[in-house]
Amino acid sequence: MTHNLTRDFVELLLDWPADSAALQVRCKLLLLDGVAVAAAGAAQPGPTILADLARADGAGGAGGPGGPATVIGHGFSAPVSVAARINGMSMHVLDFEPMWNPANHALSPLLPALLALAQQREGCVGGLVGSPGSPAIMQGSAVLRALAKGIEAQGRLRLSSNQFEPAQLTLHPPGVVGPIACALACADLLGLDAQAATMAVGIAASRCGALLANVGSHTKALHCGDAAAHGLEAALLAERGFTANADVLAGPRGWGHAFFGAKFDAKPLLAPLGEGRALVPGPSWKLYPSQFGTHFGITAALDARARLGPVQASDISRIELRTPAMPYIDRPVPGTGLEGKFSWQYTATLALLDGKVEPATFTDERRHAPDVDALLKRFVLIADAGIPGTFDAMHVVITVHLTNGSVVSARCDAPLGSWRQPVGDDLILAKARSLLEAAVGTDRMLATLDAVARPLAAFSIRELLAALS
């Protein structure tokens, strides 16, 4: 038989049971973190504009087509790909969902598509929507298995790129690996055979791409929303017999060579599975809503502030932050609060001034406050080529010079929640509770937590999203 890299990759993941108790618990926690972050992010300008566009096109409006899938935080339902796109953007816009290594946001390009598909198919009697005669799906446990497979697929695709340091990246990873992994996971949820799932991957591969130039704008979060919508659509097209190249990952015109050239390494795609490399040890849980590298600077700045006590801009004559070379987060004067999420300088400055970094840190009002403007002018970034640039090996050092002549330094080798500083599930649950309560109120927060806490046999995606809507 002729070797087919794409088919072998697809079959490996489709055949993986992904049903151990440890994986199911991990995936439930990821799901809760994802929907909580999406509920909190839904009111941001980018997702709101996208939701308004969907309404203008008739989704969920009077006389419009509506649809089976909940658009979180916007009070209407929509066709599955529309809901996946908006919810994917909401799940990423705060930059608050987990981080993987090599760098990737694996949740927002994937989970919104699975939630939308599960809502469409859950509890259908007499066959799947649009697929007469097929057996009905849908238990929440099937979504968790598909989620595990999609996360694992993204981890393998990222490893195959041979681009491990963020400074090496020219494309935003979720937009490059997300559509393929989402298509595979949706194919798994739909019960497609290997041939159809391979077609889904082939369709999705032509819908990959996301420019890092758009970091700091609304479009960055749209990368994740588009990945979720494109992957879901690819699986639905393949279910109906739509075709694509049968080995789209390989060859001189395939995905690997097109995006990564001679660096592409197919071996990680077919490595033995075990419990899944991307889920064990798994993600770094984000405790601050900003680009993950900035968490090192935030942690060091909070440590320095703990030694200094409360400070004002007038107390500080100079801040020095020594970091790895990561040019795309070297933003001395971010123009907006959103852009501040991708600035070493802004995030460390706010940690020093406010003693915390939270969603309100990134409003335009806080960004342009006089104390922030004053302190950013006294900030010196030192990009040290001798510091490794991967998230599992890097460190930063902050030195704060006070006007009274005192100097305080602090170093961060790993922020809380990362692989070298793991946190318990209780802290992630507390994060979800806080985000949900602020976004949807106490009653719906409790209903959402109750829906997620149900035993696997009674875990319903429809019930979960009803609690949020």
* pLDDT tens by residue, 335-387: 999 999 999 999 999 999 999 999 999 999 999 999 999 999 999 999 999 99
pLDDT of residue 132: 36
Tokens of 238: 């393949």
Residue 62 pLDDT level (bands cut at 50, 70, 90): very low
* Residue bearing tokens 């916007």: 74
In whole angstroms, what is the distance from residue 139 CA to residue 24 CA? 13
pLDDT at 457 over 90: no
In whole angstroms, what is the distance from residue 290 CA to residue 351 CA? 12
Which residue would you say has higher pLDDT here, 274 or 169? Answer: 169
pLDDT of residue 65: 54
Least Cα distance to 90 among 154, 171, 34 occurs for 34
pLDDT of residue 133: 37
Sequence-ordered alpha helix ranges (H) in 166-266: 173-190, 194-205, 218-239, 255-260
Tokens of 241: 């017999």
Prediction pTM value: 0.94
* pLDDT tens by residue, 195-236: 999 999 999 999 999 999 999 999 999 999 999 999 999 999
Name every residue whose Cβ is closer than 8 Å to that of residue 415 and which is 6 or more positions away in sequence: 284, 287, 288, 295, 296, 298, 299, 421
pLDDT of residue 139: 73
In whole angstroms, what is the distance from residue 6 CA to residue 318 CA? 53
In whole angstroms, what is the distance from residue 381 CA to residue 348 CA? 11
* Residue 115 backbone phi and psi in degrees, to 5: -65, -45
pLDDT at 469 over 80: yes
**Helix 173-190 with 194-205: angle, nearest 10 deg:** 160
- The secondary structure of residue 291, as a DSSP letter, is -
Least confident span in 46-50, 131-135, 243-247, 318-322: 131-135
Residue 278 pLDDT level (bands cut at 50, 70, 90): low
Q: Mean of the pLDDT values across residues 172-183?
A: 98
